[in-house]
Amino acid sequence: MATIADKPSSMRAVPWTLIAGLLLVAVCELLLFVDVHGRGGAIIGRDAIEQVARFVAIHMTPLCWVGYLLVADGLLTLLARRRGEAAISSILARPNRFIVAWLTSVSVWCYFDWANFAFLDAWRYHGLPANVVDRWLGYVLAFAAISPAMFLAAQLYQHLGLKRLRTRGLRIGPTAQIIVLLIGVAFAVFPHVIRSPIGTLTLWLSVLLVLDPVNHWLAVPSIIGDWRAGRWGRTIALVAGGATCGLLWELWNYWAIAKWTYHLPFLGSLEQYRYFEMPLLGFAGFLPFALECWAALNTIIWVLDRLHLRVAESLPDEWTVL
């Protein structure tokens, strides 16, 4: 049997994306520390290092999430090379699908932002760049990374063993699926009616509950389809991917200048117990987040196919995420 030493060096080499991503995140963290240490002083007259550090502090979110995507690709590529397998990073194996996820992630997050700023006021942005072009470029880079970041983490968890989680399937018949859809519609309407941060309790489930039954009826990948077949890995991997990215989002957000804060008064005194800016109980919202973003992506790809814009590659099997 061949060993790792017997394999070509190209199969064992550390991918450049992993190195570049780790360097980008590490440099951003170091420069953010420099800026936090000297924060409060005027930028004019500062030396070049301090000016670069201030730029990073303002653009911490898009910069770190570009680095994260590179790291995720590198880890998946390294895992494939060490196992002697074909590419398992969607950036390499299914680049068109990754691009669709990257682009449509912006529109998916804009829906949540619209619901928040129009009705809920549950989170607020601060310290955004004054330059309009700079601000919108940061928006696009940050929002575009949201869905792919969670999906690539879930893909890694699947390949580390979660894809093997299978049991007898659940009986989720047409009636139950319709009930799920109707609950999802009610959950989607609730934030618009209540017009209060408490609407976030249903906002973070509504997209999944509405779109996943529809996806199942359209014969595209769905959580209901997985559960009916007894496949649990993709669900757990997506939940883990959402939690993983939630931990990093809040970590990289906390000391940044351009950042977000939360306003969840319905939690009462529990709002003061936080993971960085996020109230601990509010962190539960990250758990279904990847699931509904994945449901939204599958619906969008189906619509593109119906419009004869078949740009996204099909998933190669029943457990791949992206």
- N- to C-terminal Cα separation, the chain: 32
Question: Could you tell me if residue 157 is inside a domain?
Answer: yes
Using alpha carbons only, give the angle 241, 317, 70 rounded to the nearest 5 degrees: 40
Structural domain of 254:
94-306
User: Bridge-partner residues for 259, per DSSP?
Assistant: 126
pLDDT > 80? residue 24: yes
Question: Could you tell me if residue 220 is inside a domain?
Answer: yes
Helix/strand/coil for 260: strand
17 class by beta-carbon count within 10 Å (0-12 exposed, 13-18 middle, 19+ buried) = buried
Question: Residue 231 has what DSSP assignment?
Answer: B
| 169-176: long-range pairs with CB below 8 Å, 24+ | 169/227, 169/228, 169/229, 169/230, 170/227, 170/228, 170/230, 171/228, 172/224, 172/227, 172/228
Contact predicate 225/235, CB 8 Å: no
Q: What does the block give as tokens for 34?
A: 């420099």
**Each residue's pLDDT tens digit, 112-153:** 999 999 999 999 999 999 999 999 999 999 999 999 999 999
Contact predicate 98/322, CB 8 Å: yes
What percent of the chain has a predicted confidence (pLDDT) above 70?
94
Using alpha carbons only, give the angle 218, 189, 204 rounded to the nearest 5 degrees: 70
Please give the average per-residue pLDDT across 256-281, as a whole number.
97
- Our count of domains for the chain comes to 1
Question: Could you tell me if residue 6 is inside a domain?
Answer: no
Question: Could you tell me if residue 66 is inside a domain?
Answer: no
Question: Could you tell me if residue 50 is inside a domain?
Answer: no
Question: Could you tell me if residue 318 is inside a domain?
Answer: no
What pLDDT score does 86 carry?
84
What pLDDT score does 41 carry?
61
Using alpha carbons only, give the angle 119, 279, 265 rounded to the nearest 5 degrees: 45
Q: Transcribe 115-144 into DSSP letters.
A: HIIIII--EEEES--SSHHHHHHHHHHHHH
User: Bridge-partner residues for 124, per DSSP?
Assistant: 261
E strand or H helix at 152, and its extent? helix 146-159
What pLDDT score does 7 carry?
52
For the chain, the average pLDDT equals 94
What pLDDT score does 38 carry?
87
Please give the average per-residue pLDDT across 268-291, as a whole number.
96
Contact predicate 119/192, CB 8 Å: yes
pLDDT > 80? residue 253: yes
pLDDT > 90? residue 2: no
Question: Could you tell me if residue 37 is inside a domain?
Answer: no
- Phi first, then psi: give them for residue 229, nearest 5 degrees: -90, 0
Beta-carbon contacts of 303 under 8 Å, excluding residues fewer than 6 positions away, are none
Question: Could you tell me if residue 243 is inside a domain?
Answer: yes
Helix/strand/coil for 279: strand
What single-letter amino acid sits at 195? R
Q: What does the block give as tokens for 235?
A: 């669900």
**Each residue's pLDDT tens digit, 34-84:** 999 988 665 555 689 999 999 999 999 999 999 999 999 999 999 999 999
168 class by beta-carbon count within 10 Å (0-12 exposed, 13-18 middle, 19+ buried) = exposed
Any idea which residue has 């939630």 for tokens? 246
pTM comes to 0.94
